[in-house]
Structure 1
Amino acid sequence: MAIKVKFCPCNFEDELEGIKEKLRQRSDLEVIEDRCLLYCGQCLIEPFALVDGRNIVTDDPVKLLTAIEQYVAEHKNEAVR
């Protein structure tokens, strides 16, 4: 079962495109763009993604990739269950 990584298409759209592409290359992740993630306003302030429902937030798009990869590595076994 793939871990779902959801992005708001309005959230740092240009800066996050490369990160989304890197994540799409992973077979263990499903990258989804969803217009409303119910974190209204956050998309204008800081880069974020929902990873299996968990809000992962950083102050920089590159740090977001690192944070997502770290979260996935720590929680991969839980997603398999």
Structure 2
Amino acid sequence: MRKDAVKYLSLVLTGSHEDMVKLTSEPARFKDWQQANFDFVAQEYGKANMVRFTLCMYEKTPHIHAVVVPLTEDGRLSAKDH
């Protein structure tokens, strides 16, 4: 592994404060939003490469933190190929 290799990507998934407050007031839509984001990250980076996927409600604007290891299908560590 190169010393300057990207070992993980830290993603923040959110929207405008106003949109997120409105979304949280509709529990079914908010759950759908969470699932859609999970599905996107899993499809984009591979579910097995997801290290963390956490909903944060403790700050002003709700958001999701996701951490993924950018492994390609052939096993290379590469943030460029995603």
The answer, yes or no, to whether TM exceeds 0.5 is no
Q: TM-score, normalising length from structure 2?
A: 0.30
Report the structure number with the largest CA radius of gyration: 2
